[in-house]
Amino acid sequence: MCGIAGIVGPGWNPEQLQAMVASQRHRGPDAQGIVIDTTGRGGLGHRRLSILDLSEAGRQPMSTPDGQAWIVLNGEIYNYRELRTELAHEHAFRTQTDTEVLLAAYRQWGSACLDRLLGMFAFAIWDTQSHSLFAARDRFGVKPFYYHQRPDGTLLFASEIKALHQAGVPAAPDETTWATYLAHGLYDHSERTFWEGIRSLPPGHLLTWQDGILRIQRWYDVAEATGPDLDCRPPEVVAEEYLALLQESVSLRFRSDVPVGINLSGGLDSSTLLGLVHAVQGPESEVRVFTFVTGDDRYDETPWVARMLERTRHPSVLCRLSPSEVPDLAHSVQSHQYEPFGGLPTLAYARIFEQARAQGAIVLLDGQGLDEQWAGYDYYGAALCGQTAAAVVQGTRESPVRTRCLVPEFRARAEPFIPPTPFADPLRDLQYRDARYTKMPRALRFSDRISMRCSTELREPFLDHRLFELALRQPAERKINGMTRKALLRRLNASLLPEGVVQAPKRPVQTPQREWLRGPLRGWATDCIEHALAARGGTWLDPEKVRAAWRRYCDGEGDNSFYIWQWLSIGLMHQNGMRHHGA
């Protein structure tokens, strides 16, 4: 896990690339590398977090033996050992890294190498002879890739938006993105970012650049790979295949030369992960387990966690978040997110990575992805009944946004999003929407930034494309059976989990955000909202309506705080990034 950067084209200087790399030090504190083409047409930069082959041989940018191609990689190619064996007859390897294997795979198979990769990645390869760039992002967009092209054709790219601003890309808010977020609650669903002129390479896409010509094309789509047909095999056959893939996926993600830990809540997904760790490593596993707590009994996951850890040897680390810590932590997390993030759950999650790094667990496994695969969210039931399920916030009965608090001219800039419907049934279309455009993209962005903030690597075993494709082929009754969600997964888990945990109800990642914002954080939240109004009142937000809505919220109105956090995000960003850039 690292930070990458690069500039290709005529209009740049080495100081710009150096600034891009330096701004991403937190993504890779172990080493820094920069290489510039002898012609000056291309330069690559890298910050290294050492995970595989901790020696100097693993440093990046890394070149082919003949020096024709250079690569920078952020992420992990989990099946690098198998690929290395396949390539060994034509390539002499000098390191034990996945980076070198990836470079050899590209030289051997070109862009077709992408189909062979199991992993999370964003990488770029510069060809010093053709003066061309090839870059790609993994199937689900676990690892980020941002870019900006100047009028003269020069292309700048990096793992984080802030790096592009450090290189001189103008820092101005993208008002269409902001209006869409505030009016519809949508973000990370398209190539647009919250910053004007900066785009995100979509998941499952590749990028090529030569002589100022930029081309982007899709190389993977989970709906296309899944196909239209449902899986009519007996459920026990499917369960056996799926369990084997789960075990392989978890096993691959333990490939590391540094200690590995686990993020564990009391929910079914992370409980499944722990059960799989035991299936892979055996009952004597002593992998550390990290769980966040807020001290509020209404949102306490520790009883479920304790049940999971009974009769195991896992050290359990509780990572506490208190109201007094929120203001400073929110500013720190915002400075790394650089775009709106998911409120107190993200802050509580950040505590986990702080503790993990402090205790030497450099790699953490997480349970993201099973809800999208097995229709675990509460609104999926509506899709089975033919109802529209456009929720962006789970567990609320009201609209999560407050469009009446927006200035009408600004609200008109919002772009409604109509996701593709590649399947013949609404349930799978909704699962596809969440995996490709809504739930997963934003959750993965939050997780990448908060893990990298602490120089830790987050691995997602359930985001193996083979698992997604198999689950999406299953008939609806194997996902939602009466009142039971994730039906086949729960059946499969009977052999993995303690009694009582398999039937644990679906619970969103919960923190007392609503209660704290109305209570101990009320003064801080008021200040943040006033910062937002000072910056965008009258242009984006209607000050009178926002203040009135905030007073009603503090008096107990409403069952969600999503719109409140939207306003806090504006205030936080103006106190951090936007303020510094004069935006």
- Looking up residue 436, the CATH number of its domain turns out to be 3.40.50.620
Q: For residue 119, is it within any domain?
A: yes
> Given the structure tokens 């059976």, which residue do they identify?
481
Does residue 232 share a domain with residue 208? no
Extended beta strands in 358-465, E state:
363-365, 457-459
- Pairing of β 199-200 and β 146-149: antiparallel
Predicted TM-score (pTM) of the model is 0.95
Query: Which residue among 168, 194, 220 closes a domain?
Result: 220
Identify which of 335, 325, 333 has the alpha carbon closest to the alpha carbon of residue 574. 335
Sheet holding 363-365, edge to edge: 316-320, 289-293, 260-263, 363-365, 457-459
242 — pLDDT class (breaks 50, 70, 90): very high
Does residue 439 share a domain with residue 329? yes
Extended beta strands in 22-153, E state:
31-36, 42-48, 62-63, 69-77, 119-127, 132-137, 146-149
Look at 300-309, 425-434, 470-479, 540-549 and tell me which has the smallest mean pLDDT.
300-309
Burial of 449 (0-12, 13-18, 19+ CB in 10 A): buried
How far from the centroid of its chain's Cα atoms is residue 274's Cα?
A: 21
Burial of 360 (0-12, 13-18, 19+ CB in 10 A): exposed
Residue 578 has a pLDDT of 54
- Please give the Cα distance from 222 to 489 (Å, whole number): 20
Does residue 250 share a domain with residue 151? no
Does residue 162 share a domain with residue 95? yes
Q: Read off the pLDDT of residues 16-49 as tens digits, 9 standing for 90 and up.
A: 999 999 999 999 999 999 999 999 999 999 999 9
Flag whether pLDDT at 141 surpasses 70.
Answer: yes
Q: Read off the pLDDT of residues 261-289 as tens digits, 9 standing for 90 and up.
A: 999 987 888 889 999 998 999 888 999 99
Identify which of 460, 431, 571 has the alpha carbon closest to the alpha carbon of residue 78. 460
Query: Which residue among 203, 220, 237 closes a domain?
Result: 220
Backbone angles phi, psi at 453, to 5 degrees: -55, -35
Q: For residue 500, is it within any domain?
A: no
Extended beta strands in 78-212, E state:
119-127, 132-137, 146-149, 155-158, 199-200, 205-210
Flag whether pLDDT at 581 surpasses 50.
Answer: no
- Please give the Cα distance from 525 to 541 (Å, whole number): 16
- Please give the Cα distance from 42 to 58 (Å, whole number): 22
579 — pLDDT class (breaks 50, 70, 90): very low
Backbone angles phi, psi at 364, to 5 degrees: -125, 140
Q: For residue 421, is it within any domain?
A: yes
- In what helix (H) or strand (E) does residue 272 lie, and over which residues does it extend? helix 268-281
Residue 582 has a pLDDT of 40
* 133-152 mean pLDDT: 98
Report how far apart, in Å, the C-alpha atoms of 540 and of each of 64, 68, 337, 413 are: 51, 50, 21, 10
- Please give the Cα distance from 140 to 393 (Å, whole number): 21
Q: For residue 131, is it within any domain?
A: yes
Does residue 77 share a domain with residue 35? yes
Residue 577 has a pLDDT of 62
Q: Give the total number of structural domains in the chain.
A: 3
Domain that holds residue 171: 2-220
Q: For residue 291, is it within any domain?
A: yes
Q: For residue 505, is it within any domain?
A: no
Q: Taking all residues of the chain, what is their mean pLDDT, rounded to a whole number?
A: 93
Does residue 353 share a domain with residue 376? yes
Helices vs. strands in the chain: H and E counts, helices first = 23, 19
Q: For residue 47, is it within any domain?
A: yes
Identify which of 283, 254, 237, 285 has the alpha carbon closest to the alpha carbon of residue 363. 254
Extended beta strands in 150-248, E state:
155-158, 199-200, 205-210, 213-218
Does residue 254 share a domain with residue 162? no
Flag whether pLDDT at 580 surpasses 50.
Answer: no
- Please give the Cα distance from 179 to 185 (Å, whole number): 9
* 416-432 mean pLDDT: 94
Flag whether pLDDT at 498 surpasses 80.
Answer: no
Residue 105 has a pLDDT of 98
* 51-57 mean pLDDT: 94
How far from the centroid of its chain's Cα atoms is residue 281's Cα?
A: 26
- Pairing of β 260-263 and β 213-218: unpaired
**For residue 557, what are its two tokens?**
């109105």
Report how far apart, in Å, the C-alpha atoms of 339 and of each of 520, 534, 569 are: 25, 19, 8
* 430-450 mean pLDDT: 97
Given a contact cutoff of 8 angstroms between Cβ atoms, the answer to whether 291 and 305 are in contact is yes
* 334-355 mean pLDDT: 96
Does residue 289 share a domain with residue 204? no
Does residue 215 share a domain with residue 262? no
Residue-level length of the chain: 583
Q: For residue 506, is it within any domain?
A: no
Q: What angle do CA 166, 172, 177 make, to 5 degrees?
A: 120
> Given the structure tokens 């291309």, which residue do they identify?
42
Query: Which residue among 459, 493, 527 closes a domain?
Result: 493
Does residue 151 share a domain with residue 137? yes
Does residue 372 share a domain with residue 291? yes
250 — pLDDT class (breaks 50, 70, 90): very high
Residue 312 has a pLDDT of 86
Report how far apart, in Å, the C-alpha atoms of 9 and of each of 6, 70, 149, 154 are: 10, 16, 10, 4
Does residue 108 share a domain with residue 28? yes
Instruction: CATH number of the domain at 9, please.
Output: 3.60.20.10
